[in-house]
Chain A
């Protein structure tokens, strides 16, 4: 199995520890992932701004970089969702079709491809799980409150298997954090307020470590936590899971 790690552009620059944790976690689970150095971005920031046409060269670059791998794994459901859903704009060559189906969010890959449903280790903290919309609603990694009262999902199960962990019961289990890519600056007031409300829900219900599968949402929420000097640590789930396995 030839696996590539795709590290989203902002993670590469600002959260290298998340890329490192992803790589190490995969290795501990028996997968040696490669990191093709030519990789850049999935093109989502442009496409979500309406400039899909300008993103096409980025899409093609992504396809060229990753076509030779069986799986491309990224610690970000949003980028994966973009590749799977919106690379339909490219001519559907066999390479394009392949990269669209071989793109996996890290947690999805661990849960469904590797079949790992439990992680040995302990993490004795009050952990609040932020469900990122593109992973949850786009890739169906967790139940949606619009459909069912059952709060379940891949990450909840993996985290729940850790010893000593306590998962926060939020008032609103899956409300969007308001990051939304360029939305966070083009609609800054609403974006900020949404993030503040999300953080307040966690604070009110006792979260001491805020986590999730998508660093972009977490970057936004972390910015709010740090601005408010709030007693909460923000970590990508890969960091937690990687840290618990020796």
Chain B
């Protein structure tokens, strides 16, 4: 199944599509208001872009600096080449403490590595504590958005899920009541947890500290209550200095939700007395992406989700239509790096309108990379054969003005003289699903111009 097929399924529910589109557009509009209010916002984007470019160009240096500082702070640092190593390291730490109850705050990396199923298969209870994450965990679904993981669900869906799993009243849809139920449910898990796993928004090389940005404070509650804190981060999360951080915190929340800053911006540098802190630094395909000059800049991503909120395709096809850990435009340039075959349709799930690149707080040239992935995929024969051959044919055709003239004339006459039911048959003219064909003119411009010259 490709993106188009999954998207068509989503869009089949027209009302829900409208609701999804408008909900995310509302977030985009909130972002706009917050951005317009900061006169230097475009300068901040440029600065952030340059800081990230610089960091990526000296990533080996900053990674080692970070490790050294973190160790000096008393933090255990682990290196994971791929998802399996990441999962094994974390399971190992949990087992060393004979722990079975884990709370986790939102981390797309653990999602990417499929940590939850791995822990559960090994007899560990792991509870996602971000409200949206918890909802989809109860439903056994994947997140459909980077920062709004349950945005595909309406409050009625949440009510039904909580009725089934948390014992709220059947038909309860009041967000206040549902949130309170989740609070009480999660509170018990927080208090019982032996190990807390978190993601990382920024890792500061000069201090060896990590920064986590949340709105719910769930990461802080989990980390401060549990005896052991495991933070998992991709190698691209680094920034050189603490003084660079404010550039990103000013951009992140504004771009994500239109807030000036996230409710909590928490710094974790060293473990509290009698506690343990681990940082797992993960590659999982990132160095491969770093080695692709055309796609390197995708590693600048700070996971704000703005490209999803702005993407007219994402808003109308839903996050699950991408069938990837990171959906939307940024996911469509990250995912083919991980599995080109599986994600071959994603770079085509775009009109290349460019709004994603314009909204990106770190200036990733997303739509240009989508275009470039298409070239890579076609060269690797990962596009439909029919498309490949028709394009080859078209290539021949479009270098000959004569052939184009004859072909065009045939097409115009075809539309004119063939029965409407045939020219607009939806089986082989997909255009006609929702659109009329242009009314064929008598003459092409070429023909008209030639006639004018004769006169």
List residues of chain A with CB under 8 Å of any chain B CB: 7, 9, 11-17, 19-20, 23, 35, 37-41, 43, 45-55, 57-58, 60-61, 86, 133-134, 137-138, 144-149, 172, 174-176, 178-197, 219-220, 222-224, 226-227
| Most chain A CB neighbours (cut-off 10 Å) among B316, B435, B443 | B435
List residues of chain B with CB under 8 Å of any chain A CB: 3-4, 7-8, 11, 17, 21, 25, 32, 35-36, 42, 310, 312-313, 316-317, 348-355, 357-359, 371, 374-379, 383, 387-388, 391-392, 394-396, 398-401, 404, 408, 411-412, 430-431, 433-438, 440-441, 443-450
Q: Quick check: A189 and B449 within 8 Å, CB to CB?
A: no
Taking chain B's interface residues, is the majority helix, strand, or loop, or is none over half, making it mixed?
helix
A50's contact among B17, B313, B378, by CB below 8 Å, is which?
B378
- Given A149-B32, A178-B312, check contact A196 B446 (CB 8 Å): no
Q: Quick check: B444 and A16 within 8 Å, CB to CB?
A: yes
CA distance A188 to B2 in the complex (A): 13
- Given A35-B449, A146-B310, check contact A220 B378 (CB 8 Å): no
Q: Quick check: B350 and A12 within 8 Å, CB to CB?
A: no
B424 — nearest CB in chain A belongs to which residue?
A227
A7 — nearest CB in chain B belongs to which residue?
B445
Q: How far is the CB of A112 from chain B (nearest CB, A)?
A: 20
B residues in contact with A219, CB < 8 Å = 438
| Most chain A CB neighbours (cut-off 10 Å) among B3, B310, B316 | B316
Q: Quick check: B4 and A187 within 8 Å, CB to CB?
A: yes
CA distance A172 to B392 in the complex (A): 38
B316's contact among A11, A52, A194, by CB below 8 Å, is which?
A194
Number of A-B pairs, beta carbon distance below 8 Å:
215
Q: How far is the CB of B13 from chain A (nearest CB, A)?
A: 11
In addition to A53-B375, A189-B4, 8 A-B residue pairs with Cβ atoms within 8 Å of each other are A11-B445, A13-B408, A49-B378, A179-B351, A180-B352, A187-B3, A195-B434, A223-B431
CA distance A49 to B393 in the complex (A): 13
Q: Quick check: B433 and A188 within 8 Å, CB to CB?
A: yes
A residues in contact with B404, CB < 8 Å = 9, 12, 40-41
13 residue pairs bridging A and B, Cβ less than 8 Å apart:
A16-B445, A38-B401, A41-B398, A51-B387, A57-B396, A61-B398, A144-B355, A147-B358, A182-B387, A183-B351, A188-B4, A190-B313, A192-B435
B431's contact among A175, A188, A194, by CB below 8 Å, is which?
A188
A residues in contact with B310, CB < 8 Å = 146
Q: Quick check: A12 and B408 within 8 Å, CB to CB?
A: yes
CA distance A192 to B426 in the complex (A): 13
A residues in contact with B375, CB < 8 Å = 47, 50, 52-53
